[in-house]
Structure 1
Amino acid sequence: MARKKLRSKRAFFAAPARNVEDVVGAGLCTGCGLCESIVGPAISMGINIEGNMRPLVRDEVLAEQNEQIIAVCPGVSVQGPGRPQGVTLHPVWGPMREIHRSWASDPIVRHKGAAGGTLTALGRYLLTSARVHAVLHVRADDRKPWLTTSTISRTPDEVLRGAQSRYGPSSPLVNVHRLLDDGKRFAVIGKPCDISAVRALGRIDPRVEQMIPYMLSNFCGGVHSEHIAKAVMRHHRVDELDVALYRYRGEGWPGPLRVQTRDGAVYDLPYANAYRMGKFGYEFPFRCKICPDGVGEVADIAVPDGWNLRNGKPVYAEAPGTNVAVVRTPAGEELLHGAIDARCLEVAPVSVQEIEQMHPNHHRKAAASVALLALRLMGQRTLRVVGYRTIDGLKRAGVRGILQQFVGTVRRVLTRENREHLI
């Protein structure tokens, strides 16, 4: 009965989101922080009761500001690269001008990074070559090291201090307008949804094209909540007030999940235990499960782990770190080869088949359009998605993948509704 009442209160096709409250309420917020960047103190990002980074509206948002937010929010719409000419297109991996295994030439950078240190090496090179004056990225929070904060690096050493994967919630884009107002060129390193938001901002703010010449991303399988980090601390029987370091990955490849207390005690979990066995209830936000782009199709370069393979499957044993550099744009191509020529980056051959074996979970994005259709049919707010070659993706997903995505989305919506009803 409760479910029927919920359905009767909304139209068959839900109206588009009108503001950030609508986006958050529909489970579509990515937590990127661009809304705070646009309006300043009227909106602030913080951890909500579910342990996710979400905006809190503290004051009136002017109509013009709200219009800008809706225009750029990756919880409202995302625009893919479409079909750029002269570029190899893959139904899952998107445009691929070049693909390489890659790693930082500097062994310290390579070891400290979560994989081969490729993004760190590129960020450092951008500053040493004076291509940009700053790099916008994230690093561990000083006060609560299991959380992640937006940071602006202006020196190569500052970039290195922010290295290593941050799997938890973050809002890297809260500082975008601060840097745009400074009037100096900068690069952005973020998740695919973060890069999508900055590209959307570029369609309404001409400063973006002039001042953000490089946008780099990882491959993103989803962002878990703060509750997972706290579950890890409870597992080790460590009080969060005693935590001096919480490193999701790094200092090796893949590197352990490390908790270190203020008295120097160290607690490690191997990567496979922490992220592949579901030991801590690793759960993604709803928006991550319907994401049309976890592989950074609109970045200049997308950089996932370059896992070693055994019998066609990834091996998570410790080894010298490598990434895969997927070059998407002419700007990315110029940057990659500049870093190679400057001996900041090493590369080796890799095949598309190997990338598919390294990252099998990303194949589900081929049927992302089915999840969006399911939301519409259930009267839920959903994303407007263009430029992701829907037909190609559906052909790749096949009937089984399409059905799995549809049924899975329906179940998630019903589960979410039941939970909200109980609350």
Structure 2
Amino acid sequence: MKINNLDTIIESGLCVGCGICQSLAGRETVTMEVSPDQRLRPRTKKPLADVAFQKIVQVCPGVTLRGPTKDQAGPAGTTHNTFGPITCLYRGWASNENVRFHGASGGVLTALATHLLESGKVEAVLHVEASAEEPIMTNARVSTSARQIYDGAQSRYGPGAPLTKVHHLLDANCVFLVIGKPCDIAAIKNLARFDERVETQIPYMFTMFCGGLPSLQMPSDMAEHFGVKVNELSRFRFRGDGWPGLTHMETQDGRSFDLTYQECYLSENTPWTYDAQFRCKICPDSIGELADVVCADDGSVLENEKPMDRAVPGLSIIISRTPKGEVLLRDAESSGAIVLESLSEAELVTMHASHIPRKIGWPARTLGLVLAGNPTIKVRRFRRAKAILASGPIDFLKNLIGTFRRVRRGVVVEVGFNKS
């Protein structure tokens, strides 16, 4: 199947919902909207010129994914076979206790973003925040103050398209930081190959380890569990205010409800599912190999290998993947913005072993798509041969056959707007 329009990308299960296509084409031509599958997807409002569409295809991380260059980590860094470029590795947290408590995992990304803004190294921060009008929705946000960054902190387990505002900021000659999912960062890296402004105007990019992006159906079902309709909500917090943080809902008439992390994501007896989009299940980069700084939950605050129900001060695993990311971390520590402690690669691998199956399984899964006649991601520089060797022949065949069968059963298919 040939990719000949945006709906083909959606219907093939490859769209990540980042919003870069809207940014490239303009809102009058492409706009991000909620699809029939309750995911944020691009709707084509006016016919796209072939040149414009081909540029979108070259930048879209659902279609093209280029991994780190051999020298990304610099002469002193290393490239782990599974966890990618590493120039330095820490556990840490925000020095400001309010930021540490408010953020989803120690507040490190919030503290680093604030440090960059207040030190004048960037003029704005592009990130996401909860929608005030529709609390289960996640909106793109351009912050120009520490308070705005703080207000947008905390994890959002659902669709969000921060990249819709990229060209608005580039055209305004703004120097800005991007905080997004790993696939959002991949889109910016793809864009840099065609737009020289990216190198000078986006000096830093941050991301986090990603467990996959669920649809809006999940928070809707969580609210429904308490007899609440989404249009009755005034607030929906996925995580934050302690680690791991309660999922917290408030209604317009003053009611409130909470769910623990285990109730939300680790219990099998719930009326909701973490329905991660198909593109996430074949992703070569759930750990943000292309960013300057990456953060992840620190498993040292687990109890019996599970997040505890009570809130504790958050900790982050912090990985610098570029020399300038390493310099930034040390500057932020020196200025008192963050606290850093040593962390070994062995601890990282142990705490985040759950990412390994996707990191070594993507070659078989993407090949399974091709054999089933489905479009797939064009992947470069993600250590394909090493992933195949680590997977082994049995798991490789299981992943290949499993993906092939899913495609043939129509499991990967989403409904595009031209069929809705």
1:194-213 matched pairs, under 5 angstroms: 194-213=184-203
Q: Report if the CA contact (8 A) 1:79-1:196 is conserved.
A: yes
Structure 1: give runs of 5+ residues left out of the alignment: 1-13
Matched, 1:373 2:367: yes
SS at match of 2:314: coil
Partner of 1:322: 315
SS at match of 1:174: helix
SS at match of 2:210: coil
SS at match of 1:338: helix
2:389 pairs with one of 389, 392, 395:
395
1:396-415 deviation digits (Å, cap 9, x = unpaired): 22334323422331232133
SS at match of 2:219: helix
Q: Report if the CA contact (8 A) 1:257-1:269 is conserved.
A: yes
1:247-273 deviation digits (Å, cap 9, x = unpaired): 000011010111111233221110111
Moved more, 42-51 or 392-401: 392-401
Q: Report if the CA contact (8 A) 1:78-1:384 is conserved.
A: yes
CA distance in 2, matches of 1:264, 1:404: 50
Q: Report if the CA contact (8 A) 1:218-1:296 is conserved.
A: yes
Moved more, 247-256 or 354-363: 354-363
Matched, 1:361 2:354: yes
CA distance in 2, matches of 1:184, 1:123: 15
CA distance in 1, matches of 2:361, 2:70: 18
Partner of 1:285: 277
1:61-88 deviation digits (Å, cap 9, x = unpaired): 2222212211100111100004325321
Matched, 1:263 2:253: yes
Give 1:418 deviation, angstroms: 9.4
SS at match of 2:408: helix
Alpha-carbon spacing, 1:237–1:153, altered in 2? closer, same or farther (3 Å): same
2:331 pairs with one of 325, 334, 338:
338
Moved more, 408-417 or 137-146: 408-417
TM-score normalized by the length of structure 2: 0.93
AA paired with 2:335? A
Alpha-carbon spacing, 1:248–1:315, altered in 2? closer, same or farther (3 Å): closer
2:23 pairs with one of 12, 37, 45:
37
CA distance in 2, matches of 1:51, 1:373: 27
CA distance in 2, matches of 1:53, 1:295: 22
CA distance in 2, matches of 1:37, 1:259: 32
CA distance in 2, matches of 1:56, 1:200: 22
Q: Report if the CA contact (8 A) 2:261-2:307 is conserved.
A: no
Partner of 1:385: 379
Give 1:29 deviation, angstroms: 0.4
AA paired with 1:64? V
CA distance in 2, matches of 1:308, 1:185: 36
CA distance in 2, matches of 1:399, 1:118: 40
CA distance in 1, matches of 2:171, 2:302: 49
SS at match of 1:332: helix
CA distance in 1, matches of 2:100, 2:116: 17
CA distance in 2, matches of 1:378, 1:322: 43
1:128-207 matched pairs, under 5 angstroms: 128-207=118-197
Matched, 1:249 2:235: no
TM-score normalized by the length of structure 1: 0.93
Alpha-carbon spacing, 1:404–1:348, altered in 2? closer, same or farther (3 Å): farther
SS at match of 2:297: coil
Alpha-carbon spacing, 1:160–1:419, altered in 2? closer, same or farther (3 Å): closer
Partner of 1:5: none
1:164-196 deviation digits (Å, cap 9, x = unpaired): 000100111000000001102000000000000
CA distance in 2, matches of 1:420, 1:243: 27
CA RMSD across the alignment: 1.8
- In the alignment of these two chains, the number of paired residues is 408
Q: Percent same amino acid at aligned positions?
A: 38
Moved more, 356-365 or 238-247: 356-365
SS at match of 2:409: helix
AA paired with 1:21? D
Moved more, 80-89 or 56-65: 80-89
Give 1:307 deviation, angstroms: 2.0
Structure 2: give runs of 5+ residues left out of the alignment: none
Matched, 1:221 2:211: yes
Partner of 2:47: 60
Partner of 1:121: 111
Give 1:420 deviation, angstroms: 7.7
2:13 pairs with one of 27, 38, 52:
27
CA distance in 1, matches of 2:176, 2:5: 29
1:194-247 deviation digits (Å, cap 9, x = unpaired): 000001000000000010000000111100000111100110111222211100
